[in-house]
Amino acid sequence: MTPTSRCRATARMVAVIGVVSLVAACSGNGGATGSGADGYPNRNITFVVPFSAGGPTDTVTRMIAEPMAAQLGGKIVVRNVEGAGGTVGAGEVAQAEPDGLTVLMHHIGMSTAPALYEKLGYQPLKDFETVGLVTEVPMTIVARKDFPPATLSDLVAYVKANANKVTLANAGIGAASHLCGLLFQTAAGVKLQEVPYQGTGPALTDLVGGQVDFMCDQTTNTSGQISAGKVKAYAVTTPARVKSLPDLPTTAEAGLPQLQVSVWHGLYVPAGTPPEVVRKLSEALKVALAEPRVVEQMAKLGTAPVAPEAATPQAHRTKLEEQLGAWAKVIADAGVKAS
Ligand code: MLT
């Protein structure tokens, strides 16, 4: 084949390939091609955390973002969109392009919001695809260091006697800290003054500083302060003690067995995101959760990755459906509504 005919042949070939990718690109899959996942991610992925930076949900998100980015071959940027117990951030992702480039990390709050907010602006099962569960974090009841009650039953007696004076911090209506606070008040038979924050990161800072009296928060946020003796800790809200906090009794051991709650977390993308993209994210999540570094970091903070079969879209959807039903009843019985 002469040089000129060879380059003509090559030119023809380049032309053919060029056209194929052009057609695929024009097939309206927004940055992705063919089955939707080819070429995904073609830009930075944004992980939206609906609470403050430095808090428990932010901490878990940043733990898995890096290994997931490595697996996906792209960059993940974490963005905190705070407000209204996590519903502002969730609402923003529900409206985002269904191209897999905007991902929401949310927790039990996704299942409580519909029962609490009249005008929510999204429906968890309709407006989102579930990608997979991430972890289920125990909660701890903690107080400022100089708060008088010594034990959980002392705390119940104290808040009963001082209900109009005691302040209970949380991260807004529908947040995990709010729900746990609600369960505590129901169990103790009291109504306390609640102090809302945009996340339990800043709430814990104020608790250590003595500005608020007590709160219920995830071990992924409180473990360090408990181990350092910077806060008083009464109990953990799970049936078994947490390995990283061996001296902290369970609520059952401490006399309030009805106060059981842990905070399941999962990843979501807007409804309509190509199934192949969801599958790619779920696969990357599984790999990230198996990383020894992630396992170790989670263990240090009192939690663990979910089992691989739970880090799947279907298992996550099943959990969400079950929790939506469960919390609707608890919230209706408690007669609580976001104003
Ligand atoms: C946070 O990250 O601040 C928490 O998850 C808030 C909460 O739900 O209590």
Question: Rounded to the nearest 5 degrees, what angle is found at the Cα of 299, between the Cα atoms of 297 and 303?
Answer: 110
User: Can you give the C-alpha Rg of the chain in angstroms?
Assistant: 23
Q: At what angle do helices 109-116 and 313-334 cross, to 10 degrees?
A: 40
Cα–Cα distance, 317 to 321 (Å, whole number): 6
Tell how many helices (H) and how many strands (E) occur in the chain: 12, 9
> Whole-angstrom Cα distance, residue 290 to residue 307?
9
- Residue 313 Cβ contacting ligand 1 at under 6 Å: no
Ligand 1 center to residue 56 CA distance, Å? 6
Does 89 contact ligand 1 (Cβ within 6 A)? no
Give residue 339's pLDDT.
Answer: 62
- Whether 141 contacts 253, CB under 8 Å: no
Question: Which residue is closest in CA terms to ligand 1's atom 3?
Answer: 199
Is the CB of 312 inside a 6 Å radius of any atom of ligand 1? Answer: no
Ligand 1 centroid distance, CA of 218 (Å): 8
Ligand 1 center to 318 CA (angstroms): 22
Quick check: CB of 55 below 6 Å from ligand 1? yes
pLDDT in tens, the chain (339 residues): 444 565 555 555 444 444 444 444 444 444 444 456 778 999 999 999 999 999 999 999 999 999 999 999 999 999 999 999 999 999 999 999 999 999 999 999 999 999 999 889 999 999 999 999 999 999 999 999 999 999 999 999 999 999 989 999 999 999 999 999 999 999 999 999 999 999 999 999 999 999 999 999 999 999 999 999 999 999 999 999 999 999 999 999 999 999 999 999 999 999 999 999 999 999 999 999 999 999 999 999 999 999 999 999 999 999 999 999 999 988 888 888 886
Q: Say what the pLDDT of residue 8 is.
A: 54
Is the CB of 200 inside a 6 Å radius of any atom of ligand 1?
Answer: yes
For residue 51 and ligand 1, the question of a CB distance below 6 A is answered with: yes
Give the Å distance between the CA of 307 and the centre of ligand 1: 23
Please check whether residue 176 is in contact with residue 262, taking contact to mean a CB–CB distance below 8 angstroms. no
Full-model pTM: 0.89
User: Rounded to the nearest whole angstrom, what is the distance from the C-alpha of residue 270 to the centroid of ligand 1?
Assistant: 21
